[in-house]
Amino acid sequence: MSVVFAFLLVTVSFGLRVRSGRALGILPFGGQILSVQYCPCSWNLAITVGPPVGGVFTYEPGFSTVRAFYQIFRPGPWVLGTYNPGGSCLTFCSWCCMPANFPIGTIDVVGTSM
Amino acid sequence: MNFKTIFCVVLFAIPLISLADSESFTRTLKLGMRGEDVRSLQIFLNADVETRVAETGVGSNGNETDYFGPATKRALIKFQEKYRAEILTPIGLVSGTGIFGAKTRAKALTLKSSSQTSAVIQASNNDVIVMFPSQYSGTPGTMITISGAGFTDDNTVYFGPAYAVVKAVSSNKQTITLKVPSVPKGTYSLYVKNSQGESNKDAFFVVTDGVTPEPKIESIGPSQAARGARVIIKGSGFTLNGNTIRGGTNIFEDISSADGASLSFVVPPSTLTATSSESGKKVFLPLWVYVVNENGVSNGKSFDLEL
């Protein structure tokens, strides 16, 4: 019984997505986009940003705001913005969603180079 | 080992397995090959000053391509020899091969995943970085602000190697405001030198003459496109050759416009593909497109890419 409960708990937790309030976007980040990964089970993107203040951040369609010059979907451009802690990038396995990357935050607002 | 122990081991191994599968380094790469994974490899190599593909121009930081050429091979050999003990020695080699095979990919993935899972990457305080100018075109005398990092109170801002604005002040180390110098019309690499070093050179600025109209995008269609679709740009001021389309997920260089009023490009089928099956739910990303040529930089227009 406990095994079944653990199974359900972990499976469900993989599907959880952190959606913080917009007002919390106070943590700055900035650097060059190193890679962009589509996360098909969480319907978002994991964007890896290099120095000076980088990490892996998720772009959430409908939540993250991108400003000029809007180039956030390919490696190369430089970005400056704010993020909220938490986020997930999930991919499919045969029977559930599971992490494909480990973001440190979800993009709130970001401006980019061309 | 009972069933519960086996179950827990499998359960907690799943995220690690999925992380490894999600990386873009999944096939052997070698001289002459093309693909987005080649671009990822070049970006990865350029992240280490000891294994850069090129210092300037094609293949350099910010100018990576999808082609595995001789420069990529040389950089990969440097990488293999830097980590000789883990890549070459186990298979009885002394010198790098320039082939991105299983051993090399395994080392690259180890380094890549360790950098991705680190909380926040911090650069050296001495790094000089040019991120972007406030606008990408203008006549001499136009005031622009460059955003970046590592600026001092005495910067030299270069417009290509031949022209510079000296003693450009930054009061906050993150921005420099200056007038575009009187230089001939053309596209210039925009970079900064100061006592802390020299910046990256992937930013650009198009100096215009104020007479020749800059390119202008009137419309872009279709409004929604899938991977592999052809996108048509209608407008004015496109040149016969040498238009660069900055298309959201890719940069298309030296695109021709026979009539000066239309351009097109194909969204590469490999754009943002996932390693697992499709979700069934449609996701739309707004891709903004700009046209850059010798006469300037266009306004932006967007279309939705369906994933």
Q: ipTM, 2 decimals?
A: 0.77
Closest CA to B130 of B195, B186, B74, B189: B189
CATH number where B181 lies: 2.60.40.10
Q: How far apart are CA B118 and CA B98, in angstroms?
A: 29
Residue B103 placed within a domain = yes
Residue B85 placed within a domain = yes
Based on the fold, state whether residues B104 and B133 are members of the same structural domain: no
Contact B136 A114 (CB under 8 A): yes
Which chain A residues are within 8 Å of B268, Cβ to Cβ? none
List Cβ neighbours of B279 (8 Å cut-off, separation of 6 or more). A40, A41, A43, A92
Residue of A nearest to B5 (CA): A3
Based on the fold, state whether residues B241 and B268 are members of the same structural domain: yes
Closest CA to B298 of B137, B131, B185: B137
In 3-state terms, what secondary structure has residue B256? coil
Based on the fold, state whether residues B113 and B51 are members of the same structural domain: yes
Q: Which domains does chain A have, with CATH numbers?
A: 2-112 (2.40.50)
Q: Count of domains in chain B?
A: 3
| Residue type, position B219, single letter | S
Closest CA to B205 of B166, B172, B170, B179: B179
The residue behind tokens 């000029």 is A68
Enter the DSSP assignment of B270.
T
Give pLDDT, residue B253: 95
Closest CA to B101 of B66, B76, B69, B82: B76
Interface of B with A in 31-90 (CB under 8 A): 39-40, 43, 47, 61-62, 64
Closest CA to B76 of B21, B118, B33, B113: B33
Which sign does the torsion angle of CA A98, A101, A102, A108 carry? Answer: negative
> A2-55: per-residue pLDDT in tens?
444 444 334 434 444 444 444 455 799 999 999 999 999 999 999 999 989 999
Q: Cα A86 to chain center, whole Å?
A: 8
Q: Which of B82, B117, B152 is the last residue of a domain?
A: B117
The residue behind tokens 């190599």 is B45
Q: How far apart are CA B165 and CA A5, in angstroms?
A: 67
Give pLDDT, residue A92: 84
Contact A70 B4 (CB under 8 A): no
Mean pLDDT by 10 residues, chain B (307 residues): 40 38 66 87 82 87 86 93 87 90 80 52 67 96 95 96 95 94 96 95 95 97 94 97 93 95 94 66 90 96 93
CB B193 within 8 Å of CB B275: no
CB B165 within 8 Å of CB B193: no
Give pLDDT, residue A24: 53
Q: How far apart are CA B29 and CA A14, in angstroms?
A: 33
Based on the fold, state whether residues B203 and B220 are members of the same structural domain: no
Give pLDDT, residue B221: 92
CATH number where B46 lies: 1.10.101.10
> Which of B6, B24, B45, B132 should be substituted to probe chain A, the one whose Cβ sees the most A Cβ atoms within 10 Å?
B132
Residue B124 placed within a domain = no
pTM for the structure as a whole: 0.67
Based on the fold, state whether residues B33 and B110 are members of the same structural domain: yes
Percent of chain A with pLDDT strictly greater than 70: 78
Based on the fold, state whether residues B138 and B107 are members of the same structural domain: no
> A47-94: per-residue pLDDT in tens?
999 989 999 999 999 999 999 999 999 999 999 999 999 999 998 877
Residue of A nearest to B276 (CA): A92
Of B8, B15, B286, the CB nearest to A98: B15
> What token pair was written down for B300?
């932006």
Give kind and range of the element (H or E) at residue B14. Answer: helix B3-22
> What token pair was written down for B173?
């180390």
In 3-state terms, what secondary structure has residue B79? helix
The size of chain B, in residues, is 307
Q: How far apart are CA B56 and CA B197, in angstroms?
A: 16
Give pLDDT, residue B23: 42
> What token pair was written down for B159?
């417009």
Which chain A residues are within 8 Å of B62, Cβ to Cβ? 32, 76
Q: Which of B90, B117, B144 is the last residue of a domain?
A: B117
Structural domain that includes position B265: 216-306
Based on the fold, state whether residues B166 and B85 are members of the same structural domain: no
Contact B147 A101 (CB under 8 A): no
Which chain B residues are within 8 Å of A62, Cβ to Cβ? none
The residue behind tokens 């089928």 is B269
Q: Which of B71, B97, B117 is the last residue of a domain?
A: B117
Give pLDDT, residue B16: 37
Closest CA to A112 of A49, A55, A45: A49
Give pLDDT, residue B181: 96
Residue of A nearest to B304 (CA): A61
